[in-house]
């Protein structure tokens, strides 16, 4: 008998915590039999909610925490004073081996600095990165970094490529992932120094994946690559631009179907197909950014998500844990040991 998978939850993180966290956990419990939860939060608030879901309470251990990190707290302040917070203690449960992954919808900056401080990066990785998912015509594309860092050196970008590849291979199930480096054109001379230098590094290193070279913004949703590598500033802007366009498009579609009675009737007939399409672009389906590169699985849920979105974040953490993501990442970076300390790479970092 294998021991059950335990997921640590920051019950106090997110705009509508702890309600959304508890209801999300209940949805995730139904989807992932055998998973247990270790919740961290204010007993007075969480206990009554758990009381409503007997099956969830049966697989959940609640640990009382007296502090919570607020969305407006500065990350540096959270790092100094947050040791008794639900977020910190949930992360610490992964560090101690009590849980296989931690999910939080709380303050992103605080989550990043505390997770990095508590869990540390894996050997061979200088900086962790936030990784998210985007739809493409044949499935999903992973993109990193979405904002854990602002600017990235060529060495950072090269490490992100390897991190993204391990994710695509183990969690998305792509046998030999195709990796692209986000740029403003596909020609060698295009772009900024760090990106050009990273392309040289990726071509020179013997990597267990296909490096496609430079790609453009259109490729994020085109299905030409499995993993998009970029710095955190650019990745954050691209992800939020995509979110904005989807919102505008969905709003316009809704209006179009309300324009006149013929359109309304048309909607009634096509409703099932349209709903299916809407689900494909539903941001809740893509909720859960993976904080990669750490010695532990950390998933950030959108702060404003609902129970369905939070359950999807838990699902991402469960998948990563079940696929032994951390061990595979450690293994890949060990076998690519040379990636870390060549003079070439050191020069590129500086």
In whole angstroms, the minimum distance from the beta carbon of 56 to its own copies comes to 33
- Strand bridging mode 227-229 / 297-300: unpaired
Name the residues that contact its own copies, by CB under 8 A. Answer: 74, 135-137, 147, 150-151, 182, 184, 189, 191-192, 216-222, 230, 232-234, 236-249, 251-253, 255-257, 259-260, 262-263, 265-274, 276-277, 280-281
- Minimum CB separation from its own copies for residue 287, in Å? 15
How far is the C-alpha of 151 from the C-alpha of 17, rounded, in Å? 32
Least distance (Å) from its own copies to the CB of residue 291?
Answer: 16
The Cα 101–Cα 6 span in angstroms is 7
Nearer to its own copies, 96 or 151 (CB): 151
User: Shortest approach of its own copies to residue 164 CB, angstroms?
Assistant: 17
Distance CA 97, CA 173 (A): 26
> Of 277 and 346, which CB lies nearer to its own copies in the complex structure?
277
Measured from the CB atom, the residue of 25 and 113 that comes closer to its own copies is: 113
**Structural contact between residues 90 and 96, judged by C-beta atoms closer than 8 angstroms:** no
Residue by residue, DSSP assigns 84-102 as TBHHHHHHHHHHTTS-SEE
Question: Could you tell me which of 71, 83, 107, 90 has the C-alpha nearest to residue 6?
Answer: 90
Least distance from its own copies to the Cβ atom of residue 139, Å:
12
Least CB distance to its own copies at residue 304 (A): 12
DSSP-derived pairing of the beta strands 297-300 and 289-292: antiparallel
- Collect all residues with Cβ–Cβ distance below 8 Å to 169 and sequence separation of at least 6: 175, 176, 177, 209, 328
**Cβ of residue 181: shortest distance to its own copies, in angstroms?**
12
User: Between 166 and 238, whose beta carbon lies closer to its own copies?
Assistant: 238
Comparison of 9 and 182: residue with beta carbon closer to its own copies: 182
Contact yes or no for 236/132 (Cβ under 8 A): no
CB of 62 to its own copies, least distance (A): 32
With CA atoms as reference, report the closest residue to 25 among 80, 84, 104: 104
Cβ nearer to its own copies, comparing 2 with 273:
273
DSSP string, 75-138: HHHHHHH-TTBHHHHHHHHHHTTS-SEEEE-S-HHHHHHHHHHHH-BPTT-SS-EEEEEEEETT
Strands 101-104 and 297-300: parallel
The nearer residue to its own copies, 137 or 343, going by C-beta atoms, is 137
Q: In the numeric block, which tokens belong to residue 129? A: 């990165």
Residues in the chain: 350
> Which residue bears the tokens 């709003």?
251
- Contact status, residue 221 vs residue 141, Cβ threshold 8 Å: yes
Q: What is the β-pairing status of strands 5-10 and 289-292?
A: unpaired
Nearer to its own copies, 222 or 308 (CB): 222
DSSP 218: G
Nearer to its own copies, 241 or 338 (CB): 241
Taking the complex as a whole, the smallest distance from the CB of residue 155 to its own copies amounts, in Å, to: 19
């Amino acid at each position: 008998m294998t021991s059950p998978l335990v997921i640590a939850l920051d019950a106090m993180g997110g705009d509508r915590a702890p309600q959304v966290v508890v209801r999300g956990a209940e949805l995730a419990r139904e989807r992932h039999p055998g998973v247990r939860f270790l919740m961290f939060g204010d007993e007075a608030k969480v206990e009554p909610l758990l009381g409503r879901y007997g099956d969830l309470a049966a697989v959940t251990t609640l640990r009382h925490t007296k502090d919570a990190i607020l969305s407006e707290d500065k990350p540096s302040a959270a790092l100094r004073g947050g040791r008794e917070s639900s977020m910190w203690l949930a992360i610490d449960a992964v560090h101690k081996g009590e849980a296989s992954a931690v999910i939080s919808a709380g303050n992103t900056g605080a989550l990043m600095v505390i997770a990095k401080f508590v869990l540390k990066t894996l050997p061979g990785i200088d900086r962790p990165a936030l990784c998210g998912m985007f739809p493409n015509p044949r499935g999903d594309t992973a993109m990193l970094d979405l904002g854990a860092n602002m600017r990235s050196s060529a060495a950072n970008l090269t490490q992100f490529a390897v991190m993204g590849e391990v994710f695509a291979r183990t969690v998305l199930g792509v046998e030999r992932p195709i990796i692209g480096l986000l740029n403003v054109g596909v020609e060698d001379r295009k772009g900024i120094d760090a990106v050009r230098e990273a392309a040289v590094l990726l071509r020179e290193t013997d990597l267990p994946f296909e490096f496609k070279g430079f790609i453009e913004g259109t490729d994020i949703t085109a299905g030409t690559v499995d993993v998009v590598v970029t710095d955190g500033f650019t990745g954050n802007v691209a992800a939020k631009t995509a979110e904005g366009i989807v919102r505008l498009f969905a709003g316009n579609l809704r209006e179009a179907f309300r324009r006149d009675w013929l359109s309304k009737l048309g909607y009634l007939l096509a409703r099932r197909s349209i709903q299916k399409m809407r689900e494909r672009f539903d941001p809740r389906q893509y909720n859960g950014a993976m904080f990669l590169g750490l010695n532990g699985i950390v998933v950030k849920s959108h702060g404003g998500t609902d129970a369905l979105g939070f359950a999807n974040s838990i699902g991402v953490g469960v998948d990563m844990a079940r696929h032994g993501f951390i061990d595979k990442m450690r293994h890949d970076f060990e076998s690519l040991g040379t990636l870390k300390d060549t003079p070439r790479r050191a020069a590129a970092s500086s």
